[in-house]
């Protein structure tokens, strides 16, 4: 069965006054309007955080009621920062079963109303228990990985600065991005240390936001061509490699095989740059270049909207902001917008025919690759 | 300094730090703990300036390689050692701590 993304709804990412249900409903209504409010018989919702006041408990029926979808069936999924991609994959699998016609997929997060230390602790809960009890956080483990990456290829930290500059430059053209101001390499290098070598502007921010899209039977410019997932050891110390993520490599291989495509046919990419160094590692793991070659791509401008392979034309996680559960779906949504010719100011110079979205759960313990493209099999 | 407790998988021979589950490489539960010298080399070191609730900044964390290429995530005691430095590692329950190896 062939499926395609029929519409994408995305509100502004950033510090928002609304609660979780309102953010989710805003994106959902945009997506529903995009298909003329056609009947939806499946609702898949993803969220990682948001305790009682935000309605995490019973989030699904709250949203179903709010959106008038009580006749639909529904699921809620959670895979930390990969939640949005998992929601999309779950919806696709359910539609492929033949029991449903059209799914509304929503991923939303409310984060900015809580202290940073609390959010940091709750994000670290997706790490292995023995890492969390040592006080490890996502940026801490990312910093250790980054050190190994820089040391392995004898790169200066400038290579990280170039990624952050790219992300923020792309975000300026995305009206829904959290960050609307470009930064210079000097500003990145002078930003506050988070966990060296990672500085504040190398890291994704705490944001509120939601994305929704309608996935239905049929074909279109954003047809689902291939889905892939991959796991890796949850505990970083148990990984064979520290400068490459097996979960991405496995997910990509499976998605390329399913799509009967190679990386050479991919014309736009949204990857999960929660940290600047991760953008480099993901670019390599997705097969777009060899190990240690990604910095050249970012420093040479090959990844801009006019470049040979546009990467994160939305601004990515660093530029668009990182409402954790929503990011994975925003990545897929951005690729769909580019393929559908609906990306507006952040459209790539050439409208792409094939795009790839990549999402990461935790410290790359469960990653997702989604390939969309024109037409059908 | 007491020896470090490590685990050997009898199915795939992978060696690893004790965990709450089976062998992280092959999933076998047929594993044996053994003692190893509590000394390792720092692979990477960082200080967290935005620690999680319950920890204080700057919080020093090390990635250390001990014997049999087993890696340990440890809290550094004292000043942050540079990558390549030798450290003594000890466990306090689930938490590992490391300090510069005394010169002999």
List of residues 6+ apart from A47 with CB closer than 8 A: A20, A24, A56, A59, A76, A78, A83, A107, A108, A109, A325
> What is residue A246's three-state secondary structure?
helix
Per-residue pLDDT at A125:
84
B27: nearest CA partner in chain A: A233
User: Cis bond leading into A197, ω under 30°?
Assistant: yes
Q: A196: helix, coil or strand?
A: coil
CA pair distance B31, B23, nearest whole angstrom: 7
Identify which of A118, A148, A198 has the shortest CB distance to residue B43.
A148
A196 to B55: CB separation less than 8 angstroms, yes or no:
no
Question: Other C-beta atoms within 10 Å of A236: how many?
Answer: 24
- Check B53 against A115: CB less than 8 A apart: yes
Q: How far is A210 from chain B (nearest CA, A)?
A: 25
Laid out side by side, the sheet with A220-231 consists of: A73-77, A42-46, A102-109, A209-217, A3-10, A220-231, A366-375, A354-361, A268-270
Q: Is the pLDDT of residue B101 over 90?
A: no
Alpha carbon distance B90, B72 (integer Å): 10
Cβ–Cβ of A144/B24 closer than 8 Å? no
Q: Is the pLDDT of residue A346 over 70?
A: yes
Using a CB-CB cut-off of 8 Å, the residues of chain A touching B83 are: 147, 151
Nearest to A241 by CA among B28, B25, B23: B25
Q: How confident is the model at residue B53 (pLDDT cuts 50, 70, 90)?
A: confident
Enumerate chain B positions whose Cβ falls within 8 A of a Cβ in A.
16-17, 19-20, 24-25, 43-55, 59, 61, 63, 70-75, 83, 94-96
pLDDT computed for residue A51 by the predictor: 58
pLDDT score of A280? 98
- CB–CB contacts below 8 A, A to B: 111
Cβ separation B55–A195 shorter than 8 A: no
- Which range (A69-78, A82-91, A113-122, A302-311) has the least confidence? A113-122
For the segment A184-195, the average pLDDT, to the nearest whole number, is 98
Show the CA angle centred on residue A82, arms to residues A141 and A3, nearest 5°.
Answer: 155
- In three-state secondary structure terms, A263 is helix
- Test A134 with B25 for CB contact under 8 angstroms: no
How far, in Å, CA of A269 to CA of A284, rounded? Answer: 12
Q: What is d(CA A354, CA A333) in angstroms, rounded to the nearest whole number?
A: 13
Rg (CA), chain A: 19
- Position A372 scores a pLDDT of 98
Whether the predicted pLDDT of A103 surpasses 80: yes
In order of start, what are the domains of chain B with their CATH numbers?
A: 4-100 (2.40.50.840)
Contacts of A65 (CB under 8 A, 6+ apart): none
CATH 3.40.47.10 fits A3-114+207-215, yes or no: yes
CB contacts of B49 in chain A (<8 Å) are 192-195
Q: For residue B49, what is the nearest residue in chain A, using CA coordinates?
A: A194
Give A203's DSSP letter: B
pLDDT at A185: 98
Looking from the CA of A76 toward its CB, the CA atoms found within 13 Å total 17
pLDDT for A56 equals 59
CA–CA dist A358, A253 (Å, integer) = 12
* Alpha-carbon span B14 to B11, nearest angstrom: 8
Q: What pLDDT score was predicted for residue A153? A: 98
Average pLDDT, chain B: 94
CA distance B6 to chain A (A): 13
- Could you read off the pLDDT of A210-251 as tens digits, one per residue? 999 999 999 999 999 999 999 999 999 999 899 999 999 999
pLDDT top residue among B25 and B49: B49
Give the integer Cα–Cα distance in Å for A300 and A281: 17
Question: Which of B44, B60, B74, B93 is the mutation pick for testing A, counting most A CBs within 10 A?
Answer: B44
Q: What is the pLDDT of residues A51-67, one digit of tens each?
A: 555 555 788 999 999 99
pLDDT of residue A50: 62
3-class DSSP state for residue A177?
coil
Which of the four pLDDT bands, split at 50, 70 and 90, describes residue B21? confident
- Tokens 């240690």 — which residue? A292
Sketch the domain layout of chain A as residue ranges: 3-114+207-215
Predicted confidence at residue B77, as pLDDT, reads 96
**Average pLDDT of the residues in A64-92:** 96
- A4: pLDDT strictly greater than 70: yes
Q: Which of A124, A128, A148 sits opposite B44 (nearest CB)?
A: A148
- The reported pLDDT for the residue numbered A255 is 98
Mean pLDDT of chain A: 95
Backbone φ and ψ for A47, nearest 5 degrees, come out as -160, 140
pLDDT for position B103: 63
Task: State the nearest Cα–Cα gap between A224 and chain B, in angstroms.
Answer: 33
Q: Is the pLDDT of residue A23 over 80?
A: yes
Question: Given pLDDT bands bounded at 50, 70 and 90, which one contains residue A176?
Answer: very high
- Count the residues in chain B: 104
Tokens 């490459």 appear where?
A: A244
For range A339-345, the mean pLDDT: 98
What sign results for the dihedral spanned by CA atoms A112, A277, B17, A360?
positive
């Amino acid at each position: 069965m062939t499926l395609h993304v029929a519409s994408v709804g995305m509100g502004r990412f950033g510090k928002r006054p609304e609660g979780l249900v309102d953010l989710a409903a805003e994106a959902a209504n945009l997506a529903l309007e995009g298909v003329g409010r056609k009947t939806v018989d499946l609702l898949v919702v993803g969220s990682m955080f948001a305790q009682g006041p935000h309605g995490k408990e019973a989030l699904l029926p709250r949203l179903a009621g709010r959106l008038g979808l009580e006749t639909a069936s529904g699921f809620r999924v959670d895979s930390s920062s990969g939640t949005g991609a998992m929601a999309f994959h779950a919806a696709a699998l359910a539609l492929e079963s033949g029991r449903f016609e059209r799914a509304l997929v929503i991923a939303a997060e409310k984060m900015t109303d809580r202290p940073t230390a609390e959010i940091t602790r709750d994000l670290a809960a997706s790490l292995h228990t023995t890492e969390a009890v040592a006080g490890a956080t996502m940026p801490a483990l990312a910093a250790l990985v980054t050190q190994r990456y820089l040391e392995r290829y004898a790169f200066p930290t400038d290579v990280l600065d170039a990624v952050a500059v790219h992300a923020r430059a792309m975000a300026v053209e995305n009206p829904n991005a959290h960050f609307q101001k470009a930064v210079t390499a000097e500003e990145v290098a002078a930003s506050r240390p988070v966990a060296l070598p990672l500085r504040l502007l190398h890291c994704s921010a705490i944001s509120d936001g939601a994305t929704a899209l309608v996935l239905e039977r049929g074909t279109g410019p954003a047809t689902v061509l291939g889905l892939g997932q991959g796991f890796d050891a949850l505990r970083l110390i148990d990984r064979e490699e520290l400068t490459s993520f097996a979960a991405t490599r496995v997910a990509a291989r499976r998605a390329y095989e399913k799509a009967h495509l190679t990386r050479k046919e991919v014309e736009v990419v949204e990857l999960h740059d929660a940290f600047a160094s991760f953008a480099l590692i993901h670019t390599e793991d997705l097969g777009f270049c060899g190990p240690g070659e990604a910095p050249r791509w970012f420093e040479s401008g090959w990844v801009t909207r006019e470049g040979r392979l546009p990467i994160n034309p939305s601004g990515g996680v660093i530029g668009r902001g990182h409402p954790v559960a929503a990011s994975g779906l925003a990545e897929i949504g951005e690729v769909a917008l580019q393929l559908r010719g609906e990306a507006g100011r952040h459209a790539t110079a050439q409208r792409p025919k094939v795009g790839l979205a990549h999402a990461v759960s935790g410290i790359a313990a469960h990653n997702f690759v989604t390939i969309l493209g024109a037409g059908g099999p | 300094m007491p020896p470090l407790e490590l685990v050997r998988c009898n199915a795939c021979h992978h060696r690893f730090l004790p965990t709450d589950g089976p062998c992280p490489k092959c999933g076998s539960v047929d594993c044996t703990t053994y003692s190893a010298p509590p000394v390792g080399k720092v692979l990477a070191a960082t200080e967290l300036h935005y620690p999680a609730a319950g920890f204080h900044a700057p919080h020093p964390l090390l990635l250390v390689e001990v014997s049999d290429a087993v890696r340990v995530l440890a809290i550094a005691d004292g000043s942050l050692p540079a990558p390549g430095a030798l450290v003594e590692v000890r466990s306090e329950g689930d938490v590992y701590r490391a300090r510069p190896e005394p010169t002999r």
